[in-house]
A and B are shown apart, each in its own frame.
Chain A
Amino acid sequence: MVTVAISEALDNKFIEDPEAEVIALSPKTLLATNRFVCEICGKGFQRDQNLQLHRRGHNLPWRLRQRSSKEPRKRVYVCPEKTCIHHHPSRALGDLTGIKKHFCRKHGEKKWKCDKCSKRYAVQSDWKAHSKTCGTREYRCDCGTIFSRRDSFITHRAFCDALAEETARVSVASNISSLTSNSNANYQFTGGLMRSNMVQHFPAIFDPATAEGQVGDHATPGLSLWMHHGETLSTDSSLPGMHQIGPPSIETVLHGDPFASFSNGGQQLNGQLSWIYNNNLASSSSGELTSTSLIPTSLKEADLVSVPSWFSTRHHQHSMPASGMSATALLQKAAQIGVTSSSPSFFGGVEMKCHSTQVQDGSEYNGLLNPSHPSVAANMASSLQNTANPYSNMYSTRHQTAQKDGGGGATRDFLGVGVPHRRLMDGFEPISVYDSRTNYPMKESG
């Protein structure tokens, strides 16, 4: 079974009434804005409510004030676009507004463009709603980092360590919430809430004892299956958090058939849950959700604030540090950084720069080279002294600057940390052994 588009899932349930009258409106009709026309004066209105309000003004006798034809049969609307999934009567939408919006969004021209982020919209109200919030949001990850850009937030989130712990808790909370069936919008809303904060606000549904970090005993096939559907679960530590969950029933659920009796319900729940993510819950920065936000009237498919609202702050109650690093690991890391920052460059060039001995002393440079290659050394030294050196100015300038910094002959790397002098090269033997601590080359020892 397939998931229904977010707004449509809420505006229209699956049309299962075989007696429904299937209506196919033309694109022109669907895009027309003044669909509702007063039969008395011919004035057009965008919404039926507005038309009704207007009709009252005509002072009609009571009988005629009622809608002229009481619809005996339910009307469903198909999309005129042949390639569209809603073209088929079985996938018709039950609401005129719904089909109009669908057609406009999906197949209509996207005339409205956000100038901040270049996102385009076919429906003006979608665009307006988006523009209000575009660029004003801040996205906060559970790890505490704040992002002003949605895309970098999403990417960060996918790789964030906080996600690992999150998933574990989510599965527990969702198991609890999937206890009852899913026809009640109220339930769906709370059921969809992965945030265990919600547990505290709806004690009637949840056992308040199963607060953050605690393991619930409610191992139902519900959302954990949804969470894993479509993929084979690895039995190793892919979800370390999960394995901490005690009750064996959850384990069996995880490894069970992900598509067991779950089909439609699960998918619909999936759709509901996506709606939850997408709904603008960010207004509830403290995590409190009022019942008004349950009502999807203001829901816009375009107002996708999915990830951020899901991930607003809440404090962690688990004892592990956010980075998940043990003390030993931290120390090791510090040691590594300390060593690498003071290690020399490939040729130990930095140290050489700061050496204060006289340049003209050819013997200094013999020290650079293996004495077993005296010809090379002599070459180098003599060529230095004899050739008109176009780079001498450059060299001496840098030498002076380095000397200024280095002070009395102590060799330092750029961080000002003293390092032992290292020989440049052993003849011209390439350096092939790397010090695994520093990841820098060191002399071949043997």
Chain B
Amino acid sequence: MSTSRQSEPDDPSASEKWAASLLQDCAKAISEKDSTKIHHLLWMLNELASPYGDCDQKLASYFLQALFCKATESGERCYKTLVSVAEKSHSFESARKVILKFQEVSPWTTFGHVASNGAILEALEGEAKLHIIDISNTYCTQWPTLLEALATRSDETPHLRLTVVATVVSMGGSVMKEIGQRMEKFARLMGVPFEFQVVRVASQLGELKEEDLGLREDEAVAVNCIGALRRVGVEERGDFMRMLCNLRPKVVTVVEEEADFTSTRSEYVKCFEECLRFYGVFFEMLEESFAPTSNERLTLERECSRSILSVLACDGDGGGDCDRREKGSQWCARLMGAFSPMSFNDDAIDDVRALLKRYRSGWSLLPAQGDDLGLYLTWKDEPVVWASAWKP
């Protein structure tokens, strides 16, 4: 290879999506067990990848890790390592910083929060004792605005009990403790009678049982699932939904990211493609939302690596926490088995619209079409997050 070319600004053969083609070729090589090609491509990717570069370089870096582990059948081990690394560096301050910044620059998570809170407030209107079971990955950032709404909207402020279901990976003990204390303080500030508890699920989320939650007779229950259902093992999803139904909730809010890593479980290349497509959009969104040198963005990208690894390099449902996303229409089909749909009222939709107005352009709201239900958040006209509400 010649080294004489000094400045080649945009080599046409270096197409924009070089990472995608390299990565996909490698995935194909792996599924065909073409070891020469595998080694070659892994090496190439390694040369070009960087978690600090542009989007392509980042995608190359994180997907390379998954491909490498797949090729060497070391997915589970690597996953465990990533988990322990994350746990060590995880703290309340760091988690708070990252998520609040993310919410400031992008409606990715706040969209689901606003829609869900709207549905919850509507369904629990007039109830004196509320119990929200929160199975989410957003560190309770959904609740301050709900607390404020409860304090100001109602004639009589109801009593709110918040149960957070935490799996081992996502929320370490000290982090949850701190969050709980903050929530309690804030509720006091708002004048809302409040109780907080954390229920820890030892292994998979699918193992959650009704008994673990400590429900009381006289309370109105709402179940809030943000990025939760995808963490339930694929085969256990039906049972999990039935379990939720048995809690006799007034409303179940479900928010999921729009990607399908489930139906293609047995076809590696297809699954890989979908994974790449989704994270390509996500990384691009992060790039356009954050400042170029943002540390928070870096953290979010790193957190993706676990998911990517879990889906592409681990057997079955994944190394630890399952992460098999499904699209809104797929979740609809499942949820219809246990629940009936509840549409978002005008106030909730207005609130979501108002929310999106506060962010940079590119975001919009799309109600589900046809048989499907719920609301989509779209970025550059591509649906990325799906929010829905269900009642028994």
Q: Do the beta carbons of B186 and A345 come within 8 Å of each other?
A: no
Q: Is the CB of B347 within 8 A of A394?
A: no
A111 → chain B, closest Cβ, in Å? 12
Give the shortest distance, in Å, between A307 (CB) and chain B (any CB). Answer: 7
Spot the interface stretch: A13-21, A56-64, A199-207, A384-392.
A384-392
A273 contacts B191, CB within 8 Å? yes
Tell whether A154 pairs with B144 under 8 Å between CB atoms, given A387-B40, A432-B81, A434-B85.
yes
Q: Is the CB of B155 within 8 A of A5?
A: yes
Interface residue A167 (Cβ < 8 Å from any Cβ of B):
yes
Please give, as numbers and ranges, the residues of chain B lying within 8 Å of A366 by CB-CB distance. Answer: none
A167 to chain B: closest CB distance in Å? 5
Q: Tell me the chain B residues, 79-96 only, with Cβ under 8 Å from chain A.
A: 81, 84-85, 88-89, 96
Which A-chain residue is minimally distant from B151 (CB atoms)?
Answer: A274
Given known A-B contacts A278-B152, A306-B152, A414-B52, A428 and B72 have beta carbons under 8 A apart:
yes
Chain A residue numbers with a CB within 8 Å of B183 are: 158
Q: Does the CB pair B152–A395 fall under 8 Å?
A: no
For residue B347, which residues in chain A have a CB less than 8 angstroms away from its CB? 120
Q: Is there contact, CB below 8 Å, between A397 and B5? A: yes
Residues of chain B within 8 A of A151, CB atoms compared = 110, 114, 145, 355
| A439 CB contact (under 8 Å) in B44, B88, B96, B147 | B88
Question: Digit string of A219-249 for contact with B (CB within 8 Å is 1, else 0)?
Answer: 0000000111111100000110000000000
Residue B8 is within 8 A (CB to CB) of chain A in the complex: yes
A212 within 8 A of B: no
Interface string of B226-241 (1 = CB under 8 A from A): 0000000000000000
For the complex, give the distance between the alpha carbons of A310 and B89 in Å: 35
A52 to B259, CA, bound (A): 67
CA distance A187 to B76 in the complex (A): 65
Is A239 a contact partner of B11 (Cβ separation < 8 A)? Answer: no
In the assembled complex, how far is the CB of residue B172 from the closest CB belonging to chain A, in whole angstroms?
15
**Alpha-carbon distance between A393 and B15 when the two chains are bound, in angstroms:** 11
CB of B284, distance to nearest CB on chain A (Å): 19
Size bin of chain A's contact surface: 35 or more
Confirm or deny: B285 has a beta carbon within 8 angstroms of a beta carbon on chain A. Answer: no
Residue from A116, A270, A392, A404 in contact with B1 in the complex, judged by beta carbons closer than 8 Å: A392
Whether A376 is near chain B, meaning CB under 8 Å from some CB there, is yes
- Chain B residues, Cβ within 8 Å of A83: 126
A45: Cβ under 8 A from any B Cβ: no
- Interface stretch, picked from A28-36, A65-73, A287-295, A352-360, is A352-360
Is B77 positioned at the interface, with any CB of A under 8 Å from its CB? yes
B14 A379 Cβ-Cβ under 8 A: no
Name the residue on B nearest A301 (C-beta). B152
CB under 8 Å from chain A, chain B span 271-303: none
Q: Which of A164, A384, A431, A439 contacts B40 (CB 8 A)?
A: A384
Cβ-based interface call for A296 (8 A): no
Chain A binding surface, main DSSP class: helix
Q: Mark A316-336, 1 if CB is under 8 A from B, else 0.
A: 000000000000000000000
Cα A349 to Cα B43 with chains together (Å): 10
**B186 CB contacts on chain A under 8 angstroms:** 157-158, 163
Return B158 CB to nearest CB of chain A, in Å: 10
* Chain A residues with CB below 8 A from B40, complex form: 380, 383-384, 387
Q: Which residues of chain B have C-beta atoms less than 8 A from A391's C-beta?
A: 18, 22, 44
Interface residue A40 (Cβ < 8 Å from any Cβ of B): no
Contact partner of A164 (CB less than 8 A), chosen from B84, B185, B193, B357, is B185
Chain B residues closer than 8 Å to A230, beta-carbon distance = 159, 192-195
- In the complex, A2 Cα to B46 Cα: how many Å? 65
Contact among A85, A116, A399 for B155, CB-based, below 8 A: A85
B189 contacts A349, C-beta separation under 8 Å: no
CB contacts (< 8 Å) of A154 on chain B: these are 144-145, 148
Judge whether B148 and A306 touch: CB under 8 Å: yes
Contact A394 B14 (CB under 8 A): yes
Shortest distance from the beta carbon of A422 to any chain B beta carbon, whole Å: 12
Contacts of B150-201 to chain A: CB distance below 8 A? 151-152, 155-157, 159, 179, 181-189, 191-195
Within 8 A of B (CB), among A84-130: 85, 106, 113, 116-120
Minimum CB–CB distance from B177 to chain A (whole Å) comes to 9
Interface residues of A in 156-192 (CB under 8 A from B): 156-159, 163-164, 166-167
Say yes or no: A396-B1 contact (C-beta < 8 A), given A154-B148, A347-B64, A352-B46.
yes
Residue among A106, A229, A346, A384 with most chain B CB within 10 A: A346
Against B, the Cβ 8 Å flags (1 = close, 0 = not) of A394-414 are 111111110110000000011
Question: In the bound complex, how far is the Cα of B1 from the Cα of A360, in angstroms?
Answer: 7
Which of B36, B74, B144, B351 has a CB less than 8 Å from the CB of A118? B351
Which of B47, B65, B159 lies in contact with A353, CB distance below 8 A?
Answer: B47
CB distance from B184 to the nearest CB of A (A): 6
Q: Given B64, B110, B195, which contacts A231 in the complex, CB threshold below 8 Å?
A: B195
Determine the distance from Cα of A372 to Cα of B362 in the docked complex, in whole angstroms: 53
Asked if residues A304 and B152 are in contact (CB atoms below 8 Å), the reply is yes
A391 to B193, CA, bound (A): 63
Binding site for A on B (CB under 8 A): 1-3, 5-8, 11, 13-14, 18, 22, 36, 39-40, 43-44, 46-53, 61, 64-65, 68-69, 71-72, 74, 77-78, 81, 84-85, 88-89, 96, 100, 103-104, 110, 114, 126, 141, 143-145, 147-148, 151-152, 155-157, 159, 179, 181-189, 191-195, 346-347, 350-351, 353-355, 357-358
A-B contact pairs, 24 of them (CB 8 A): A85-B156, A117-B354, A118-B350, A157-B186, A158-B143, A159-B179, A163-B182, A167-B189, A226-B191, A230-B194, A232-B195, A278-B152, A346-B61, A347-B46, A353-B50, A380-B39, A392-B1, A394-B11, A394-B48, A396-B2, A400-B6, A414-B52, A424-B46, A441-B81
